[in-house]
Structure 1
Amino acid sequence: MLTRGNVKPLYYRILSKFPPNFSLCFAYGSGVKQQIGYESLSSPSSTKNVHRTTTSSSDNKKPAMLDLMFVVENPHQWHSQNISQNPCHYSFMRQLGGNCIARFQENYAARVYCNTLIPIKDEKNIMIKYGVISTKDLVEDLLDWRDLYVAGRLQKPVEIVREPNSSKVQSAMHLNLQSAVHSALLLLPKEFSEFDFYCTITSLSYNGDFRMIFGENKNKVQNIVKPQIENFRSLYGPVLDLFKSSLEYSLMGDEYAVKWKQDKAALVILQHLNQLPKWPIRRIVREWNYGRYRSDTEDVLRAIACSPRYQEIVKKSFSDIVWQSSIKQSIKNIPTAGFKKSLAYSWSKALKTFNL
């Protein structure tokens, strides 16, 4: 496992092997941020900070792949250069050229193009998976949650390898976190723990993901949150300051013992509903109007804020988005990775299910 001291040089060496014209790059997942049961590049090997209630230990941790996301202004140009520079990263689709790959990336599923199981030359035992998304599609997902694919990843602690060079992207990343807080507060009861809060945020992009049925550890959400409480606090601390009028919380002490309290008045629920991104609101309205006289958005949200079923309806709106995008993107990843790599990657995911 690599130590904190040589993580950044590793990123520098990896990025030097790719075309430089990208506007943001972040690393995410179990290979980067500590998860119970996996080694990561940025966390100590000791599990002394992990609660003893877990069954995992440092002795049975598995090596994890390094996941990267490149955000590019011009996918056609970037893929063309990358095919020339790294042709072995691509499946047979490289024969179609950068323009065709860019169209495939931007017009289907979550608008991400993925290359997986890529060994890094001159880096012993380093394997990466990387996705490519355009800047405009990233901003749209962060603001509207059409797919909750990249937006979901950025609701959890990640390693920013290259800072965004656009204030529009920075603003969208911040608004994505605000939307995650509004969503979590809608789904949580009047009293809850800090741990419950971060687990609810993390689950936004996992509930509904078909891979959670077969291919992911059933305790994945808790395994992400438990060792990363401090990282979640750093990420959401500035955002939570905006919610002080309706939320009593503390970022100090035991995240299990300290109870947070929120105002659950219908007016506050309505405020949270109004602050949700566009696509969840669309699904909420459609769900409420099903079999009823069709009402406009404002009337529907007012009615839902007073309904005892509001949490069920809100949760379904998120899970429907995640279900659809996860299936479509997984199907899309088959031709981008190639059959052999797709099979190998799926098999490695399946092994997680059985803890093998």
Structure 2
Amino acid sequence: MYRILRPLSKCRPPSVLYGRRTYAAQPSQSTEYPQALPPDWEESLPSLEDFTQLPRDFGKNQLLETNEEFKRSLRGILRHFPALTYAFAYGSGVFPQSDATASRITHSPHPNPPEAILKWQKGGGKMIDFVLATRFSQHFHSLNLARHRDHYSFLGSLGSAVVSHVQDGYGAGAYFNPYITVNGTMIKYAVVNYDTLLRDLSNWDTLYLAGRLQKPVKILFEEPNIRVANQRNLLSAVRCALLLLPPNFTEKELYSTITGLSYKGDPRMDYGSENPKKIDNIVNHQLRNFRLLYHDLISSLPNVEYQDHQAISKAGWMDDTQLNVRLTQDMDPERRGNIVRRLPKSFREKVYFLYQRKFAIPGREFQEMLEQSKDEDAKGGFKKQVASVFDKRIAGEEDLPDMVAKAVSQTVKWPSTAQSIKGVLTAGPARAWRYLGEKRAKGKE
């Protein structure tokens, strides 16, 4: 019933059907960077059985490179967990958020890690974070409790039904076990339900999981529907950031805006549990990976373009971390209205509600508008979504960036707060207090 899906690089799609169109697989134009997106991919999203149903190289921008030995070490850790459908590693233990810190490391959290982890972390001073997605939460916890009872707090004694209820019923649907040693390596892992992950990537219910995948992560086990949903998530992040930015901006400003989405309203940022320079650190030290993630998506949008075409036409420009290319976007209300219309559904409705109050639209009239919007969403496979009169009206408002920022904060605040509170139960008071103390210490540094 459960299987680990292979990366796309091991599949062989000669000619693939995607929606109502057939795309013949073409030789890649570049061995270094992914190809452009196929046309109308957002409007053709069937339920996929395997990667051969995707166009060749679709979504490979998500497969960021690390050292091969390091990747094997991470996958070796995940072999200790049952029933995985999708998994990725993230955070500063995987992609550095500061300059080499080996000289400042006084104590490694890893008892006896593989040599590959020591080398990749330049001394092995970072706990490694994972997100593990499974199709059936209770089944996963039942198997995992049998193998690793010591990973769980006192909740584990209450059984897998209680653990899965706490996971799925509160906060953002994640269950964290921190300070766990596997293969001599200190890790923290979150268990999430496959459907919860898919919904958040598609609709931005909480931005808790979608926000993590908007930043560089190392995907270890894949699933084709998640790859498509995450591609939509990444494109939605660009669109949302454009609504927050002025007509002219730089690459770093764009990536900082995207990175900051999931931190708006996060209590850890408000109460000093995160480094206040965290966003800048992530972008400055992962600029190449942000380019690999987002360049093709940016190029696919009609309302934004790079100003320095000569700079981005040079071979290897993505490796030039001193380069900070400028971009410009079209502020025409119709074009920006199309951006609003194509935001994830749950998030877009929050923006709509904010403007309902501002415009004092009667409740019945507003509900009719929402119902019409849902009908149009249901037709997404056949008709490209275009801005309604209401979307264009919103797009012409000067306070649109403020309203979008407010909607982001509303989306993030309660799930993040509930997850922080839930952490006391899932990690146990001692480990939760230790984790909070380490986070606050990093913030002070």
Common fold by TM > 0.5: yes
Alignment partner, residue 75 of structure 2: 12
SS at match of 2:126: coil
Deviations 1:242-273 (A, max 9, x none): 21x21112544666543111111111110111
Deviation at 1:281, TM superposition (A): 1.5
1:144 maps to which of 188, 203, 207:
203
Distance across 1 between alignment mates of 2:142 and 2:392: 50
- Would the aligned equivalents of 1:25 and 1:161 in 2 still touch at CA under 8 Å? yes
2:332 maps to which of 255, 259, 265:
265
Alignment partner, residue 307 of structure 1: 397
Distance across 2 between alignment mates of 1:275 and 1:29: 29
- Would the aligned equivalents of 2:93 and 2:121 in 1 still touch at CA under 8 Å? no
Deviations 1:211-254 (A, max 9, x none): 012111111001001111111111112322321x2111254466
Equivalent position amino acid for 2:276 in 1: K
Distance across 1 between alignment mates of 2:237 and 2:179: 31
1:70 aligns with 2:132: yes
SS at match of 1:17: coil
Alignment partner, residue 193 of structure 2: 134
Distance across 2 between alignment mates of 1:39 and 1:261: 36
Alignment partner, residue 178 of structure 1: 235
Distance across 2 between alignment mates of 1:35 and 1:43: 16
Alignment partner, residue 361 of structure 2: 293
Alignment partner, residue 54 of structure 1: none
Distance across 2 between alignment mates of 1:233 and 1:182: 16
Deviation at 1:13, TM superposition (A): 2.5
Q: Compute the TM-score of the two structures, normalised by the length of structure 2.
A: 0.71
Alignment partner, residue 333 of structure 1: 423
1:33 aligns with 2:98: no
Which stretch of structure 1 is more off in the superposition, 74-83 or 31-40? 31-40
Deviations 1:162-181 (A, max 9, x none): 122xx322211111011001
Show the 5 A alignment for 1:151-162.
151-162=210-221
Deviation at 1:299, TM superposition (A): 5.1
Deviation at 1:36, TM superposition (A): 1.1
- Would the aligned equivalents of 1:39 and 1:64 in 2 still touch at CA under 8 Å? no
- Would the aligned equivalents of 2:243 and 2:336 in 1 still touch at CA under 8 Å? yes
Distance 1:115 1:44, change over 3 A: closer
Alignment partner, residue 234 of structure 1: 292
Stretches of structure 2 lacking an aligned partner (at least 5 in a row)? 1-65, 103-116, 371-387
Distance across 1 between alignment mates of 2:67 and 2:228: 29
Distance across 2 between alignment mates of 1:39 and 1:17: 29
Deviation at 1:39, TM superposition (A): 5.3
Distance across 2 between alignment mates of 1:12 and 1:254: 29
- Would the aligned equivalents of 2:118 and 2:124 in 1 still touch at CA under 8 Å? no
Deviation at 1:303, TM superposition (A): 2.3
Distance across 2 between alignment mates of 1:228 and 1:184: 18
Equivalent position amino acid for 1:13 in 2: G
Distance across 2 between alignment mates of 1:293 and 1:158: 42
Percent identical residues: 34
Deviation at 1:90, TM superposition (A): 0.2
Alignment partner, residue 343 of structure 1: 433
Equivalent position amino acid for 2:242 in 1: L
Runs of 4+ in 1 over 4 A off after TM superposition: 37-46, 253-257, 297-300
Deviations 1:283-318 (A, max 9, x none): 112212226233435554332211110110011101
Alignment partner, residue 320 of structure 1: 410
Equivalent position amino acid for 1:227 in 2: H
1:218 maps to which of 268, 272, 276:
276
Distance across 1 between alignment mates of 2:424 and 2:237: 30
Which stretch of structure 1 is more off in the superposition, 291-300 or 316-325? 291-300
Query: What is the aligned residue count?
Result: 332
The structure that has the greater radius of gyration is 2
1:187 aligns with 2:187: no
Distance 1:116 1:257, change over 3 A: closer
Distance across 2 between alignment mates of 1:263 and 1:44: 42
Equivalent position amino acid for 2:209 in 1: V
Q: Compute the TM-score of the two structures, normalised by the length of structure 1.
A: 0.87
Deviation at 1:62, TM superposition (A): 8.9
Alignment partner, residue 87 of structure 1: 149
Which stretch of structure 1 is more off in the superposition, 296-305 or 106-115? 296-305
Alignment partner, residue 168 of structure 1: 225
SS at match of 2:130: strand
- Would the aligned equivalents of 2:341 and 2:391 in 1 still touch at CA under 8 Å? yes
SS at match of 2:286: helix
Equivalent position amino acid for 1:266 in 2: P
Distance across 2 between alignment mates of 1:44 and 1:118: 20
Deviation at 1:35, TM superposition (A): 0.5
Equivalent position amino acid for 2:87 in 1: C
Deviations 1:37-56 (A, max 9, x none): 5759599668xxxxxxxxxx
Distance across 1 between alignment mates of 2:242 and 2:235: 11
Distance 1:141 1:154, change over 3 A: same
Distance across 1 between alignment mates of 2:71 and 2:166: 32
Deviation at 1:194, TM superposition (A): 0.8
Distance across 2 between alignment mates of 1:152 and 1:18: 24
Deviation at 1:6, TM superposition (A): 2.8
